[in-house]
Structure 1
Amino acid sequence: MRVAILSFALGVWLFQQLPALPPPRWLAGGALVAVGGFLLAWRLACRPGGRLVLCLAAALAGVLWAGWRAEWRLADVLPMQYEGVDVRLSGVVDGLPRRFERGVRFVLEVEKADAPVPRRVQLAWYAGRGEDAAPPLPRAGERWRFTVRLKRPHGSVNPHGFDYEAWLLARGLRATGYVRAAGDNRLLGADAGGVSAAIHRSRAAIGERFARVLGDAPQTGIVTALVTGEQHAIPSGQWEVFRRTGVTHLMVISGGHVSLVALLVGGLAALLWRHLPGLPLRVPTRRVAALAGLLAATGYALLAGMEVPVQRALIMLAVVVLALLRGREAAAGRVLALALLAVLLVDPWAVLAPGFWLSFLAVGIILLVLGGRLSTGPAWWAATRVQLAITLGLIPALLLLFQSFSLLSPLANALAIPLVSFVITPLALAAALVPVDALLHAAGWLAGMLLRGLEWLAVSPLGVWQQAAPPGWLVALGAGAAGWLLLPRGTPGRFAASLALVPLLAWSPPRPPPGGFVATVLDVGQGQAIHVQTATHDLLADAGPSYGATDAGERVVVPYLQARGVRRLDMLLVSHGDADHAGGAGSVLDGPGADLLLASLAPGHALEARGHPALRACALGERWMWDGVRFEVLHPRPGQRARRENDNACVLRIEAEGGTLLIPGDIERGAESELLARADGHLAGDVVVAPHHGSRTSSTPALVAAVGAREVIYSVGYRNPYRHPHAEVWARWAAAGTRGWRTDAQGAIEVRVDAAGVRLEAERERRARYWHGR
């Protein structure tokens, strides 16, 4: 059974890698083949080949299950003609709305609409122009009427980047949009949504009480998250501390928390049951304790939001309790396999979430280390051994998913696990059930002490191993080596397995050859960020836009550079001070940083006020050579400040043996004319990033003719309000024989230039998935 379930999971995972959905008739035909396979496996159960047939049939069943669920979910679609138009709808708020700067974000279960809209949509409600106060906070279970503008699911697609469209699909959110401030927006009723809404209201009430009692203390979010599962309550800076110290799993409600609640409540129930006359003789205390623990764990899981780690733990606990009630012993491996099957039946997109892999891998490692072995030492040594095993066993997965792992994890967890599991979490849960503020203050004080200790550990520069994202085959080799090392002492080949980890830890991605370069125009929405890499140097031209409370530097550029193995930039070039180009620069400087900041900024700009020790004006005459590749700034003239800020943008030309790339920033007609007047044929190139994102105020016929590019790249946002690129500009470049590429439709665009010539590739085509654009 366990092998069949693993085969089913493999089938589900394989389906999620498909670039397009297979025709429905293929799914129907596959169902017949799967049924035949299971029947044949039953007939061959005791013969050679029977298990192989069973595994193949189970894998096909996984593919079919994921395919059927995908067909059903993708059918819930917003027609294109209703994107960006006013739609009146009403529905019930689902889950906990979240405040952000000048607004609130929430999910609405649509009941009525004057257009064919999906059943579940994610909405943002912003404060109106000139309004200081945020809009009202809708609450779970409330019925509202809104006037909204919607769009189909869309997100940035970058190498090794977060797939927002997959995240929306897994949660059944088939459209996103915003509430029109001048629309018909009003509360229709405050008590709808049934049991689910009541649970969410309880979660919200607990969070509000915790915030009221603990105030704005740094540990408030930690205590709240341990009870309600609201991870957004924890600031991003604290998540970085947890990542660097390897204790993130303790701040996300998972199997340990659920098991703890079951043990505490089950133990208390057993104690009480034993003292009730006659009852233990009728119903064994062990069964009562198991049922009480399961009920308590279920309540806690509902309160925590039922994320994948919680589902896995609850399912495993339910299987154990069921076996106990039937008088049977449940093998740990079988329990884990049944939990895996149940999670995938409920949510076949769970395989796309890092938490799914880390959760099941961690439990598998614990079973591998402790399963069937007698304890030969004190409890603290067993706990230490398990923690060391988890740290080692998760290294390949952590490098693949996050390109880093904590070297401080064993030490930090030795401090945090007992404190969080046996003191802070029970106190916080007790404070949620009993309105005694002293319990909450005690939990908060201890959480604050723990946070300060973790922050002290996190500042160590040697605390985190960080490297480029390794290829899949190397991760598989490392996973096999780590698994072999976790086998009992005396297993042959353990030294060889440790050597097999070296290639994984020493991995460095290939760089362009001398005389060539690779430029990646990142998909950052309506803005620009371009990474240029030569044989030994890295340059970032702009850092993308600001997104309000966060920016493209933090969300896109820094994770991308980390995955590419860029520890520090040789140069950050900020073409000009507009927020769509410079909005993410601060996050980049706070992250990998740059040896040189070359920028064209207005006096008093925030980047200038940072006081970078190597800030230099980006102006005509700047030129340098890296690894046989020539870089040259063509505009603006030194000391020049045009009236329009866009016309002060740096224009960078990169020339290698195989071709050239022109990055003109946001220059418009005036700067283009000036550039043409002094270029003297020096503008000709193979690839150009469209000036000002393809605005009609740029890309004059004279510039298009002077550049003569074969490829033009438009760095634009999906359905951006400026309608970039303008149809007239697109047609102008196309009429000149230039092929157009756009980041909103094709994701990040990679330009590779070397002795073999110029080659372009789009990330949405290289990493196509069936949900993209759906």
Structure 2
Amino acid sequence: MRVLKQALVWVDGVFLAQRGHLFPWAPVFLALGIGGYFSLPIEPVLRDYVMTLGFGSVCIGAAVRWPGGWATLGWALALTAAGFGLAGLRAHRVTGPVLDWRYYGPVEGRVVALDRSASDAVRVTLDQVRLERVGPRKLPDRVRISLHGPPADLQPGQRIMTTGHLSPPQGPVEPGGFDFRRHAWFQGLGAVGYTRNPVLTVVPASEGQAGLRVFAIRMAASQRVLAALPGDIGGFAAAVTTGDRSAIGQAALAALRASNLAHLLAISGLHMGLLAGFVFAVLRLSLSMIPALALRLPVKKMAAVGALVAAAGYLALSGGNVATERAFVMVAVVLLAVLVDRRAFSLRAVAMAALIVLVLRPESLLGPGFQMSFAATTALVAFFGWLRDADLPHAPGWAKPVLGVVLSSAIAGLATAPVGAAHFNTMSHYGLIANLLSVPLMGVLVIPAAVLALCMAPFGLEIVGLYPMGWGLNWILGVARFVSGLDGAQGRVVGPGPWVLPLMALGMLWLMLWQGRVRVAGLIPAAFAFVLWAQADRPVVLVADTGGLVGVMTGQGRALSKPRGAGFVARNWLENDGDAADQEGAAGRWPGATGKLRMIAAGDTQIVHVIGKGGAAQIADCTQGQVVISSVALSLKGSCDVYDPKRLLKTGSLAISDRGIVTAQQRAGQRIWNTPKPRRDWRAAQAQ
């Protein structure tokens, strides 16, 4: 008993010793609760939320009643419970109808967003949707359509109509993979599809629509940028200034990704920070040069207010997506710290920004944008804080800017590289060089030129800023093409298991946030995460949820059953394998890949892929030990295991290994965004 009491006193002292350094842990525990919600196999019910709320309240009451070191644990558990509740509240607040059948027919709606798909097709997002003979209660709030037909001149607020294919958002391309249904749920997308038909205007765009004014201004600004800077440079400039990436070509995008410069396209913390920093510096310098103001007014705080207004304008102009909102919150926290005479760049400021983002959009925790942004920011602030407090020799004045750029790029690159590799399965071996040659130019030329263009735009003289901006972006694209063309510029890595990133994050956060020598213990879970990653085991057989593609692991890599079709699925499988081959090359690994009936051995199991009605006509019976995958309905004699579209609709994609068959539905669980519903023909829906 005495030993237990001493242990409790010791733990209490440990927590008390961390006083003043505990606030940065608040978003960590909030994130643990959010992650707990998303990892559940079954959707919580009201009783679960009530119990969580009660548990959190008890923890808060205990922390208030018995203050001291142990109160820290009470607040940590209360934040975890709050994160769980916030995630559930957000998921239910965005609830909307989701199409649960495949629809073909007239589609009408109002244009609220424009972008490009991975296949370089223009995509339009519509709200106020109308579908033929589908009641209001079943209409999705938003649908997104890829336009593969004749070019269309689309404007914000324009009401259009076409005839197209719509379907529910797709589930994971493999069990445990990225769940687009969940992503679409939080975006309000109730259906996605495509059309090859012309797009007709039902009602022209109206400038008086309040909700779309900013969107209209964005697109108008993008068109003016493209008129002055055509080609990929103009597309790059439009992306940086307005967030419109629809004009940059796939070749340029591939070069930027391979050189680790794709982050310059997204309006993120870098752009927002450079813009706010430039405006802050210009305003402070200008006000300081006026003695009457400099001697009487707090010019530093006035400059911070001006920079905050400029950042808010940039947020509105760029469309206010999740990444830009996150960047604005981080910049706003820094500028507000200046206003209240606090240290602007501190772990507290980063923690406050993370708390705000997680409270507003808990689902952003799962995205690479949130993870990479806060990984880089936390690592930079922690490293330079340690550097400031360490007793190290001071570098010469001329070397400080150069050293600062090199260290910033290196630290941010090291912090984000594992996250980027985990999500995108690639690593840029020369990314540090590319960033050192490009990021400084963003700060000294591109962003200042963009601000100048914005200031001159009301007078029709935006070209004064756009030309210098184009010079800088042309250099960056040149660097991207040069670096991406080097031998071994891009490496491939296998996709990690579900525990790799959480373990790595917790370990590195412990290293950066905990005070004292025990902080080095954070290296243990981080190292263990890399060990788990190195031992990642890919499924032997993968099956698409439509039955249209099968992939089997061989000694040369994954063999695909078809050289074309289901390209998105094929690309994701190969990327998760860490395989650089394209679909056609991977299809060449399939033995005897001809005809409509394709077979391959996978251990003791024979995989039979039946392609279309032609393949179905060639098979009438099967034997035990065969797994038959078909893209059309089958009725076979024999004891084989058959997966046709009707069965795959219930199971989703498949992973087959020595341990058996795992379905995407089993891995995803019964959640609010993916609960399976009976499939119905669209004509049956019309009758309702």
Q: Same fold (TM over 0.5)?
A: yes
The farther-off stretch of 391-400 and 62-71 is 391-400
Q: What is the alpha-carbon distance in structure 2 between the residues aligned to residue 334 and residue 169 of structure 1?
A: 32
The alpha-carbon distance between structure 1 residues 501 and 244, as it changes in their structure 2 partners (threshold 3 A), is farther
1:684 equivalent in alignment to 2:623: yes
The alpha-carbon distance between structure 1 residues 397 and 41, as it changes in their structure 2 partners (threshold 3 A), is same
Q: What is the alpha-carbon distance in structure 1 between the residues aligned to residue 380 and residue 125 of structure 2?
A: 37
Q: What is the alpha-carbon distance in structure 2 between the residues aligned to residue 281 and residue 149 of structure 1?
A: 67
Percentage of pairs with the same residue:
24
Instruction: Tell me the SS of whatever aligns to 1:205.
Output: helix
Does the aligned pair in 2 maintain the 1:519–1:752 contact within 8 Å?
yes
The alpha-carbon distance between structure 1 residues 14 and 710, as it changes in their structure 2 partners (threshold 3 A), is same
Partner of 2:220: 205
Partner of 1:453: 479
Partner of 1:733: none
The alpha-carbon distance between structure 1 residues 183 and 416, as it changes in their structure 2 partners (threshold 3 A), is closer
Specify which of 441, 459, 463 is matched with residue 489 of structure 2: 463
The alpha-carbon distance between structure 1 residues 773 and 357, as it changes in their structure 2 partners (threshold 3 A), is same
The farther-off stretch of 455-464 and 344-353 is 455-464
1:392 equivalent in alignment to 2:397: no
Instruction: Tell me the SS of whatever aligns to 1:218.
Output: helix
Deviations, residues 686-733 of structure 1 (Å, cap 9, x unaligned): 334345x224xxx46xxx22xx1331012x4xxxxxxxx5xxxxxxxx
The alpha-carbon distance between structure 1 residues 161 and 751, as it changes in their structure 2 partners (threshold 3 A), is closer
1:312 equivalent in alignment to 2:326: yes
Specify which of 247, 271, 277 is matched with residue 263 of structure 1: 277
Specify which of 209, 219, 239 is matched with residue 253 of structure 2: 239
Q: What is the alpha-carbon distance in structure 2 between the residues aligned to residue 85 and residue 403 of structure 1?
A: 35
The alpha-carbon distance between structure 1 residues 459 and 275, as it changes in their structure 2 partners (threshold 3 A), is closer
Structure 2 counterparts to residues 136-215 of structure 1, below 5 A: 136-137=153-154, 139-142=155-158, 151-159=167-175, 161-176=177-192, 186-187=202-203, 190-194=206-210, 196-215=211-230
Structure 1 segments unaligned to the other structure (5+ residues): 513-517, 546-551, 569-586, 601-617, 619-647, 717-724, 726-740
Does the aligned pair in 2 maintain the 1:150–1:176 contact within 8 Å?
yes
Does the aligned pair in 1 maintain the 2:427–2:493 contact within 8 Å?
no
The alpha-carbon distance between structure 1 residues 273 and 330, as it changes in their structure 2 partners (threshold 3 A), is closer
Q: What is the alpha-carbon distance in structure 1 between the residues aligned to residue 178 and residue 440 of structure 2?
A: 33
Instruction: Tell me the SS of whatever aligns to 2:232.
Output: coil
1:652 equivalent in alignment to 2:667: no
Does the aligned pair in 2 maintain the 1:210–1:224 contact within 8 Å?
yes
The alpha-carbon distance between structure 1 residues 655 and 5, as it changes in their structure 2 partners (threshold 3 A), is closer
Query: How far did 1:480 drift?
Result: 7.0
Query: How far did 1:210 drift?
Result: 2.1
Q: What is the alpha-carbon distance in structure 2 between the residues aligned to residue 483 and residue 126 of structure 1?
A: 44
1:219 equivalent in alignment to 2:268: no
The alpha-carbon distance between structure 1 residues 315 and 274, as it changes in their structure 2 partners (threshold 3 A), is same
Query: How far did 1:227 drift?
Result: 0.7
Does the aligned pair in 1 maintain the 2:499–2:529 contact within 8 Å?
no
Q: What is the alpha-carbon distance in structure 1 between the residues aligned to residue 661 and residue 462 of structure 2?
A: 63
The farther-off stretch of 372-381 and 65-74 is 372-381
1:562 equivalent in alignment to 2:509: no
Q: What is the alpha-carbon distance in structure 2 between the residues aligned to residue 64 and residue 661 of structure 1?
A: 44
Does the aligned pair in 1 maintain the 2:259–2:431 contact within 8 Å?
yes
Instruction: Tell me the SS of whatever aligns to 1:660.
Output: strand
Does the aligned pair in 2 maintain the 1:142–1:192 contact within 8 Å?
no
Q: What is the alpha-carbon distance in structure 2 between the residues aligned to residue 237 and residue 432 of structure 1?
A: 28
Partner of 2:14: none
Query: How far did 1:351 drift?
Result: 1.3
Instruction: Tell me the SS of whatever aligns to 1:694.
Output: coil
Q: What is the alpha-carbon distance in structure 1 between the residues aligned to residue 526 and residue 124 of structure 2?
A: 49
AA in 1 matched with 2:412: I
Query: How far did 1:221 drift?
Result: 1.6
Does the aligned pair in 2 maintain the 1:160–1:563 contact within 8 Å?
no
Q: What is the alpha-carbon distance in structure 2 between the residues aligned to residue 462 and residue 112 of structure 1?
A: 50
Query: How far did 1:313 drift?
Result: 3.0
The alpha-carbon distance between structure 1 residues 482 and 463, as it changes in their structure 2 partners (threshold 3 A), is farther
Instruction: Tell me the SS of whatever aligns to 1:233.
Output: coil
The alpha-carbon distance between structure 1 residues 43 and 77, as it changes in their structure 2 partners (threshold 3 A), is same
The alpha-carbon distance between structure 1 residues 383 and 136, as it changes in their structure 2 partners (threshold 3 A), is closer
- What TM-score, normalized to structure 2? 0.81
Query: How far did 1:327 drift?
Result: 3.8
Does the aligned pair in 2 maintain the 1:78–1:116 contact within 8 Å?
no
Q: What is the alpha-carbon distance in structure 2 between the residues aligned to residue 394 and residue 485 of structure 1?
A: 16
1:710 equivalent in alignment to 2:640: yes
Q: What is the alpha-carbon distance in structure 2 between the residues aligned to residue 479 and residue 100 of structure 1?
A: 30
Deviations, residues 573-625 of structure 1 (Å, cap 9, x unaligned): xxxxxxxxxxxxxx424xx657757666xxxxxxxxxxxxxxxxx4xxxxxxx
Query: How far did 1:285 drift?
Result: 0.9
Structure 2 counterparts to residues 476-487 of structure 1, below 5 A: none
Deviations, residues 161-190 of structure 1 (Å, cap 9, x unaligned): 442212212222234456897999610651
Q: What is the alpha-carbon distance in structure 1 between the residues aligned to residue 510 and residue 151 of structure 2?
A: 55
Instruction: Tell me the SS of whatever aligns to 2:97.
Output: coil
1:764 equivalent in alignment to 2:669: no
1:507 equivalent in alignment to 2:524: no
Does the aligned pair in 2 maintain the 1:558–1:588 contact within 8 Å?
yes
Q: What is the alpha-carbon distance in structure 1 between the residues aligned to residue 287 and residue 365 of structure 2?
A: 42
Specify which of 95, 98, 103 is matched with residue 84 of structure 1: 103
Structure 2 segments unaligned to the other structure (5+ residues): 1-22, 677-688
The alpha-carbon distance between structure 1 residues 99 and 208, as it changes in their structure 2 partners (threshold 3 A), is farther
Q: What is the alpha-carbon distance in structure 2 between the residues aligned to residue 450 and residue 183 of structure 1?
A: 36
Does the aligned pair in 2 maintain the 1:470–1:504 contact within 8 Å?
no
The alpha-carbon distance between structure 1 residues 443 and 156, as it changes in their structure 2 partners (threshold 3 A), is same
The alpha-carbon distance between structure 1 residues 684 and 288, as it changes in their structure 2 partners (threshold 3 A), is same
Does the aligned pair in 1 maintain the 2:175–2:653 contact within 8 Å?
yes
Specify which of 383, 408, 411 is matched with residue 433 of structure 2: 411
Instruction: Tell me the SS of whatever aligns to 1:306.
Output: coil
Does the aligned pair in 2 maintain the 1:649–1:664 contact within 8 Å?
yes
Query: How far did 1:273 drift?
Result: 2.8
The alpha-carbon distance between structure 1 residues 70 and 118, as it changes in their structure 2 partners (threshold 3 A), is farther
Q: What is the alpha-carbon distance in structure 2 between the residues aligned to residue 199 and residue 239 of structure 1?
A: 26
AA in 2 matched with 1:509: A
Query: How far did 1:14 drift?
Result: 1.6
Does the aligned pair in 1 maintain the 2:591–2:600 contact within 8 Å?
no
Superposition CA RMSD, Å: 3.9
AA in 1 matched with 2:583: V
The alpha-carbon distance between structure 1 residues 233 and 437, as it changes in their structure 2 partners (threshold 3 A), is same
Query: How far did 1:369 drift?
Result: 1.0
Query: How far did 1:443 drift?
Result: 2.4
- What TM-score, normalized to structure 1? 0.73
Partner of 2:151: 134
Specify which of 38, 41, 57 is matched with residue 35 of structure 1: 57
The farther-off stretch of 281-290 and 496-505 is 496-505
Does the aligned pair in 2 maintain the 1:94–1:107 contact within 8 Å?
yes
Instruction: Tell me the SS of whatever aligns to 1:230.
Output: coil
Specify which of 7, 12, 28 is matched with residue 6 of structure 1: 28
AA in 1 matched with 2:302: V
Query: How far did 1:413 drift?
Result: 0.9
Does the aligned pair in 2 maintain the 1:16–1:769 contact within 8 Å?
no
Deviations, residues 559-581 of structure 1 (Å, cap 9, x unaligned): 3223224456xxxxxxxxxxxxx
Does the aligned pair in 2 maintain the 1:393–1:479 contact within 8 Å?
no
Higher CA-based Rg: 1
Partner of 2:583: 588
Q: Could you say which structure has the higher helix fraction?
A: 2
Structure 2 counterparts to residues 521-540 of structure 1, below 5 A: 521-523=543-545, 525=546, 528-534=548-554, 538-540=558-560
AA in 1 matched with 2:611: G
The alpha-carbon distance between structure 1 residues 476 and 64, as it changes in their structure 2 partners (threshold 3 A), is closer
Instruction: Tell me the SS of whatever aligns to 1:16.
Output: helix
Deviations, residues 111-161 of structure 1 (Å, cap 9, x unaligned): 999522457312437577xxxx33441x22345688888654334432464
Partner of 1:735: none
Partner of 1:749: 654
Specify which of 68, 85, 89 is matched with residue 68 of structure 1: 89
AA in 1 matched with 2:548: Q
